[in-house]
Structure 1
Amino acid sequence: MATTTMTVFPPSMEFVGTLVDGVRENLTLPVVLAVVIGILAVDVGVLYILLLLVTHTPRPETESERHYITVTPGGEKVKGRRLPEVLDEEVEAEVFMSVVVPAYNEELRIEMMLDEAVEFLNQEFPRSASSEKGKKGWEIVIVDDGSKDRTTDVVVDWMRRGVEKGLVREGDLRIVHLERNRGKGGAVAHGMRHIRGRYAVFADADGATKFSDLRTLLSRLQSIESTRPSPTNPSKTEHHGIAVGSRAHMVNSSAVVARSWYRNLLMYGFHTFLHVIGIQKIKDTQCGFKLFTRDTARLVFWESHCEGWIFDIECLLIAEEEKVGVEEVSVTWHEVEGTKMNLVRDSVRMAWDLVVLRAAYAVGVYGGVRRGWRRS
């Protein structure tokens, strides 16, 4: 004989019993499913709103940041000249190679980088009409990221000497001074939006990477470079590809092994975290030496969000989303003293930024402006 369990409430609480009985009578499977779906929808909505609150919002360019400083043949410093806009698809490349250098308080290291870079660029991409296969001309765009030292003045002095020696011409080397510090990613993105080159590489101001490795990056990029019609102008052809400088081959070298144990621990931890969240194809995402075609630079930096250390990973995520080929290339690298990173603080910040970045692209918070532009 079946037994029925009854809940007995005191007279003053009989309304509770009536309410419970009513719930039992109406607690059908469709009702339960509707309640569960409603709760999930609310949770997803709350999480989406929280994600919107913590996503990265880049600072817009100011009017002064759209102009550059250079030196005339007479050694005079001139400023206020307008930068070109790579986001304007109608603007054609004026030189073969652009080099974007983010610089923050680099007065002690940037001259050595310029010595090496200009010597290589003059040899590899001369301005003469006989340049190999159209590899004619170059530029360096130094983005002074709100430095508190004499970085800009040091570069201007170097330019004066370079002009006098015939190493550079007016406009070959341009300085863009940001009014406030934006971070390495913000400085690189700003420079990449104002290049004149058919190809563009960004390189660190400390000269940690050997500049002649750009020759290998270019060769490997051209071997995977793909073409497609422009979605905004089908009569034009876009050229896409990225070559990523990599130090992965040096993991077991003396240069890395000799570093402090906690630096190596953080390095391995970061790589493991990248693997877990799905960044698995590129072994070294953080090397500051990456080469883009002009069209890919426009595509990647049209709507980049991260202005800190992990901006490199956003570049690779956009490339994956847009089906742009990426080639990893081993480069020569040596550690240079004077890093701007605080290992513990910046490692925690990078981990947090990675989670936000991955989530924002996964649910569509990021990418809308770029996709809208591509469809227009």
Structure 2
Amino acid sequence: MQHPKISIVIPAFNEQARIERTLDRVLSCVSDRGWDAEVLVVDDGSTDHTPAIIKRWMEHHPGLKLIHNRGNRGKGYSVRNGLLQAAGEIVMFTDADLSAPMEEAERLFAALDSGADVAIGSRWLERQRQTIHQPLYRRFFGRCFNAMTRLVMGLPYKDTQCGFKAFRRSAAQVIFRLQRIERWGFDPEILFIARKLRYVVREVPVTWGHDERSQMSYLKDGAKMLEELAIIRWNSLVGRYDKDIAAMKDTSGMVTPQVERPVPVEAVRR
């Protein structure tokens, strides 16, 4: 069986209002660019018509697949669930609101082609690329969180939270099996793991426009993300990542995904 070159993962929770527009834009981009790609939508326990809409689109688009989480597990869990099942040589995820246009993925792919293992979209490297700016309070909380992330995690990136990231398959299969955070704080964790494994991470400026329908609450979810930063740091201090990495090393000392924490049993393609 021939695998696609690119896998695009879209985590979705109660997205019936915009999922059709998202699918149309993503699938049109795939067709227009001539990408050899599959599109995997991970339904995170939606209680609306999101899964039914996706299934209807699947009838006419064989490259579109639906993955179900059992209940609402969080964005980090959904991204991990999708990327570990993705078959492409290059795997990426994008938010369902497509704040970064799908066409901007070519910037991520170019970074991987030039030697990076991980390419992360950034809203802050070239601010003039922002087409619709966030409200001032969101910008304030976002910049504060990023500053805290740089301080606590030692991450040098201007934007860890942009939901637009791509990976070489070999890197993703290792990084996401080591991931422990299941909700909003997973982004700094996977970047922390990537640096720990000495993968080449390249931050890439992308065009981006704020969507007012964002489901994230900066007060509630922001507090949880700060808690998750502390958990990541604690997991590192007590050697949990080192232990998992050691379990994944083969006889030559290379880290491979052959010895792994299992992919969730409910993560089957349907």
Q: Is this a same-fold pair by TM over 0.5?
A: yes
Segments of 5+ residues of structure 2 without an aligned counterpart are 252-270
Aligned counterparts of 2:109 and 2:9: Cα–Cα separation in 1: 15
1:279 to 151, 154, 164: 154
Give how far 1:363 is off.
Answer: 2.6
Give how far 1:93 is off.
Answer: 6.9
Give how far 1:250 is off.
Answer: 5.5
| 2:230 counterpart letter in structure 1 | V
In the alignment, what sits opposite 1:158? 57
What percentage of aligned pairs have identical amino acids?
A: 32
Aligned counterparts of 2:2 and 2:231: Cα–Cα separation in 1: 35
Aligned counterparts of 1:93 and 1:317: Cα–Cα separation in 2: 33
RMSD over aligned Cα atoms: 1.9
Contact 1:224–1:327 (CA under 8 A) maintained in structure 2 = no
Give how far 1:173 is off.
Answer: 0.7
Q: Is 1:248–2:124 an aligned residue pair?
A: yes
* 1:353 alignment partner, SS class: helix
Aligned counterparts of 1:254 and 1:105: Cα–Cα separation in 2: 25
In the alignment, what sits opposite 1:327? 202
Q: Is 1:95–2:4 an aligned residue pair?
A: yes
Q: Is 1:139–2:38 an aligned residue pair?
A: yes
| 1:123 counterpart letter in structure 2 | D
* 1:292 alignment partner, SS class: strand
CA deviation vs aligned residue, 1:282-333 (integer Å, no higher than 9, x gap): 1100001100011011011112100011111111111111110011111111
CA deviation vs aligned residue, 1:149-208 (integer Å, no higher than 9, x gap): 110111122233xx2xxxx33xx1110111111100000000111011010010111121
2:69 to 178, 183, 192: 178
Matches within 5 A, 1:1-376: 94-126=3-35, 137-160=36-59, 163=60, 168-169=61-62, 172-225=63-116, 241-249=117-125, 251=127, 255-256=132-133, 259=135, 261-375=136-250
In the alignment, what sits opposite 2:259? none
Aligned counterparts of 2:2 and 2:186: Cα–Cα separation in 1: 25
Aligned counterparts of 1:254 and 1:173: Cα–Cα separation in 2: 29
* 1:342 alignment partner, SS class: coil
Aligned counterparts of 1:201 and 1:367: Cα–Cα separation in 2: 25
Contact 2:118–2:167 (CA under 8 A) maintained in structure 1 = yes
Aligned residue pairs, count: 250
CA deviation vs aligned residue, 1:215-247 (integer Å, no higher than 9, x gap): 11101111024xxxxxxxxxxxxxxx0010110
Give how far 1:254 is off.
Answer: 7.4
| 1:293 counterpart letter in structure 2 | R
Aligned counterparts of 1:207 and 1:268: Cα–Cα separation in 2: 21
Aligned counterparts of 2:54 and 2:180: Cα–Cα separation in 1: 28
Query: Aligned pair in 2 of structure 1 residues 364, 125: CA closer, same or farther (>3 Å)?
Result: farther
Higher relative contact order (CA 8 A, sep 6+): 2
Contact 1:99–1:141 (CA under 8 A) maintained in structure 2 = yes
Contact 2:89–2:169 (CA under 8 A) maintained in structure 1 = yes
- Taking structure 2 as the reference length, the TM-score comes to 0.87
- Taking structure 1 as the reference length, the TM-score comes to 0.63
Contact 2:125–2:158 (CA under 8 A) maintained in structure 1 = no
Aligned counterparts of 2:176 and 2:2: Cα–Cα separation in 1: 17
Give how far 1:280 is off.
Answer: 3.5
Give how far 1:347 is off.
Answer: 0.9
Aligned counterparts of 2:182 and 2:230: Cα–Cα separation in 1: 15
Contact 1:110–1:207 (CA under 8 A) maintained in structure 2 = no
Contact 1:213–1:332 (CA under 8 A) maintained in structure 2 = yes
CA deviation vs aligned residue, 1:327-371 (integer Å, no higher than 9, x gap): 111111111122211221111111111011112113312342232
| 1:321 counterpart letter in structure 2 | K
